[in-house]
Amino acid sequence: MSCDTCDTCGLPDDGDDRQKFDGVVALAGNPNTGKSTVFNALTGLRQHTGNWPGKTVARAEGRFTHENKTYKLVDLPGTYSLLSASEDEQIARDFILFGRPSCTVVVADATCLERNLNLVLQVLEISDRVVVCVNLVDEAKRKGIQVDAGQLEKDLGVPVVKTTARSGRGLSELVSKVVGVIEGRCQTHPHRVDLGQGVGEAVSRLVPMVNEVAPGLPNARWVAMRLLDGDWRIREALLNGELSQVAERQQAPAESFSNKMALEGSQ
Amino acid sequence: MKLDGYTPRPVADLLDQAEEARRALGEGFRDRVVESIYKDATEIAGRSVEYGERRRVDLDLLVDKVVLSPIFGLPLMIALLGLIFWATIIGANYPSQMLATGLFWVEAQGTLLFDYLGAPWWLTGFIWHGIYRGLAWVIAVMLPPMMIFFPCFTILEDLGYLPRVAFNLDWLFKKSGGHGKQALTMSMGFGCNAAGVIACRVIDSPRERLIAILTNNFVPCNGRYPTLILIAVLFVAAGFSPTAASAVAAGTVLTIVVLGVITTLIVSAALSRTVLKGEASAFTLELPSYRRPSIARIIYTSLIDRTIFVLMRAVMTAIPAGAVIWLLGNITAGGTPLATHVSDFLEPFAYQFGLDGVIILAYIIAIPANEIVVPTILMIYLGEGMMTEDISQDSLRQVLVEQHGWTMLTAVNLMLFSLLHNPCATTIITMWKETRSLRWTTLGAVGPLVIAFGVCFVVAQAARLLGWG
C-alpha cells in the first residue's frame, strides 16, 4: 500500500519552502470530512482516500498552481479538536502554529456542521488566515440539510466555500478564495470565542504580556489560553524563542510571498 | 533569540503570571473553554444550517440496522469476507494458468535464444531458470488474485464499511484488553501488514497501540493469500466436484482468517494481562454515511496503488530469490545440490512440525516477502524440469503429493504456519520505525514465530497420534 510514510510529520516547516513556493496552504478538518479528497483534487496526487476516520496518519504534501503561482498544500491528520495532546492533534496544531501556513483551509462536513465548527473556531483562534470549506454538500442535500454560506461567512469572519470535492464542485472557488487570503486581497475578521467571565479576564490580563514577548503574534489570545491550560509545548516555544520567531515572520507583509528577494531579506 | 543560561525577563514574568492565574482558575479550565467553544458553535450553526423535511426514509439508518445488528452484524461480515475469497478463487484460477503458460513459454523461448547464441549453460540457467522463473512464478501466482481481492476490499473501504467492522468487533477487542480501533488496523492488515502497523497510529493510547502493532501480523496479508488459496484449492477442495470445490476452498481460507482473528484476540488478551497491563480505553467511533464508491478511483487505488505496489515489491524480492534458488539447486557438493543438503538437514526438524525441509527453506528465503513462499517451494521441487507443458492444478498436486509426499497434514500446517509465522522484513522494519524500540520489535518478530511453531507442533503430534497424516 503506498502510504506516505514520510518522516516529516511533527517537524515544523523550515522556511525553505517560502522561497520555493508562493505560499503554503494547510488542510485541517475533522476526520473523514474529505480532506484527502480535496487534497487529491487540488494537487492531482493520489493520497490514499477511504471512507473511515483517522486514515491520514502522516502529513502529506503536494502542490497546486493558480495563475502562474505555485502553492504548497499540506494535508494534516484529521482531528476533532486542537486542545488535547494526542499525536495527530499535536501534528496538526504545531503545523498551523509553527509551520506558519499562508492560509489554513478547514474542511468541514456539511452534514454535521455544528460539531465541525468546534474545530473551525479553534483554528480561528490560532490563525486569521483561514478559509472554511464546507464539503460533502451533495450528501447534506440528500439528507435535506441546507447550509447558508453567506450567513456562516458573516458569523465566522472568514471566507466560506461550499464544495463537493468528489466531483470537483466548488474547488475553483475555494482556490481563488485561498489565494485572495494569501495575497491580502481578502481581509478576514475571525470570530473569537466568548470565553465567559473568569477565563476571559485571565486571558485578557496575559495577552499584553504575550504581545510584549512576541510582538505581532496574531494569536496572542490563544497562546494565553494555552498557557492557562498548562500546555508544556507552548511554554517551551516561549522559552526557546520559537514563538517570537513565528511573530517576526508573521509581520512580514503578505506581498512578500510574490517577492522572494524581499522575504529572504526579512529573514 | 534563543538565550542560553537565562530566560528573558518578560518571558519569565509571563510564565509566572500564567502559572498563578492557572492555579487561581483551578481545575476544569479546559472544560470551560471547550464549553464556550461548543456554545458558540451551536449558535453559529443554528443560524446557518437549515434542516429540511426528510423526504425519504433514511437509507443509511436502515442499512445500519442490519449491518450493525447484534444478530446479523457478525455473520454478515464473515459472509462478505467469504464472498470476496470465493470471487477471488473463482476468478483467479483460469488467468493464473494462462499467465503461467504464457510466462513459461517465454522462458522456453529465452532458453532457446541463449542456446542459439552459444551462451554457457550456467548463464542460461541463472538468467532464465533462476531469476526469470522466480519472477514468472510470483506474477502468475500473485497477480490474478490481487486484481480481484484489492478492488473488492477498496469498494468496502470506500463505501464506509470498515468503521462498521470496528463497531461490530468492538466488544471482542474490549474483552481482550485492546482498543476498539484495533479492528480497523486489523482490517488494513488484510491488505498489507506494514500498512496495518502504520495505521495503528489512529490509536492514541500507547499501550493499546503496541498491542495492535504486535498482533497485526495474525491476519494474513495479500502476500499470503495466494499461498492459502493455492493450498486450499489443491488439497482441501481437491476431492469435491468442480462447482463445490471453489466454495470449499473459499470456506477453508475463511476459516484460516477467522483463526487469525481469534489468535489476534487471544494474543492481545495475553499481552494486556502480562507485559502490557491496563484497561481498555473508551473512544468515540464515528460511523460515516455510506458513500457511493467511485469506480474510477477504486480501479486506480486498487490496481495502481495497491496491486502494482505489492507486485513490484514481490518482484524485487523474487529476482534475488530466484537467483539464490538456482544457485542452491545447481551448486553441488558431493554430487548433490546445496538445496538438497539444506532441506535434508532441516527435514527431521521440520517433520516434528508436520512440514518438510523444503517448506522451511522456502520460508527462510521468503523472509523479505511472504509472497514468494509457494513459488520458492515449487522452484526447488521442480528443479530444472521444464514447466512449459502442463501447469494445471492436477499436475501441481501430483508433484506435491506423489513426488514429495505431502499429506493433508502438510497442507494444513503450511496454512497455519503461513498465518502465524513472523512478519515479513518490511513489516518488521515498519514496527521498528513506529515503536523505536528494539525490545518490542523483537517481540513482534519472534513472538509469532514461536506461536507458529508451537501450533504446528501440537497439530502435527496430535494428528499423528490419531493416525492421521
**DSSP per position, B334-386:** TTEEHHHHHHHHHHHHHHTTT--HHHHHHHHHTSS-GGGHHHHHHHHHHTT--
- Please give, rounded to a whole number of angstroms, the shortest distance from the CA of A150 to a CA of chain B: 8
Amino acid residing at A46: R
Q: How far apart are CA A33 and CA A27, in angstroms?
A: 11
Q: How far apart are CA A29 and CA A53, in angstroms?
A: 11
Does B223 fall in a domain?
A: yes
Residue B453 φ then ψ, to 5°: -65, -40
Q: Are the CB atoms for A100 and A13 separated by under 8 Å? A: yes
- For an interface test with B, which of A45, A52, A57, A239 has the most B Cβ atoms less than 10 Å from its Cβ? A52
* Share above pLDDT 90 across residues of chain A, in percent, rounded to a whole number: 31
> What is the pLDDT at residue B82?
92
Q: What is the domain range of residue B138?
A: 73-465
Which chain B residue's Cα is nearest to A123?
A: B37
Counted across chains A and B, CB pairs separated by less than 8 A come out at 202
Which residues numbered 156-215 in B keep a CB inside 8 Å of some CB on A?
157-163, 181, 184, 188, 191-192, 194-195, 198-199, 201-202, 204
Tell me the CA distances in angstroms from B61 to A31, B64, B65, B71, B335, one per residue in order. 21, 5, 6, 16, 71
Computed from CA positions of residues B81, B85, B90, B94, in that sequence, does the dihedral angle turn out positive or negative?
Answer: positive
> What is the pLDDT at residue B3?
46
Confidence of residue B359 (pLDDT cuts 50, 70, 90): very high
> What is the pLDDT at residue B367?
87
- Predicted ipTM of the assembly: 0.82
Tell me the β-bridge partners of A131.
A105
Verify whether the Cβ–Cβ distance A235 to B29 is below 8 Å.
Answer: no
Number of domains in chain B: 1
Residues of chain A with CATH 3.40.50.300: 21-182
Using DSSP's 3-state secondary structure scheme, residue A69 falls into strand
Q: How far apart are CA B268 and CA B288, in angstroms?
A: 27
* pLDDT tens-digit readout, A241-263: 777 777 666 544 333 333 333 33
Instruction: Return the number of other C-beta atoms located less than 10 Å from residue B451's C-beta.
Output: 20
Mean pLDDT for A100-114 is 92
Does B130 fall in a domain?
A: yes
Verify whether the Cβ–Cβ distance A52 to B162 is below 8 Å.
Answer: yes
Using alpha carbons, select from B17, B13, B38 the residue that is nearest to residue A201: B17
* Share above pLDDT 70 across residues of chain B, in percent, rounded to a whole number: 95
Place of cell 544457485: B327
Verify whether the Cβ–Cβ distance B305 to A213 is below 8 Å.
Answer: no
- What is the four-CA torsion angle of B204, B209, B212, B217, rounded to 10 degrees? 120
Mean pLDDT for B462-468 is 89
Fold of A21-182: Rossmann fold (3.40.50)
Does B68 fall in a domain?
A: no
Whether A99 has a pLDDT exceeding 70, the answer reads yes
Q: How far apart are CA B380 and CA B326, in angstroms?
A: 8
B345 at the A interface (CB within 8 A)?
Answer: no
Closest partner CB to A52 (pick from B30, B160, B198): B160
A81 at the B interface (CB within 8 A)?
Answer: yes
- Please give, rounded to a whole number of angstroms, the shortest distance from the CA of B384 to a CA of chain A: 35
Mean pLDDT for B288-316 is 79
B57 at the A interface (CB within 8 A)?
Answer: no
Q: Return the minimum-mean-pLDDT range out of A161-170, A186-195, B17-26.
A: B17-26
- Which chain B residues have a beta carbon less than 8 Å from that of A2? 305-306, 309
Closest partner CB to A228 (pick from B2, B25, B290): B25
Mean pLDDT for B281-308 is 76
Closest partner CB to B48 (pick from A87, A155, A166): A155
Mean pLDDT for A178-198 is 89
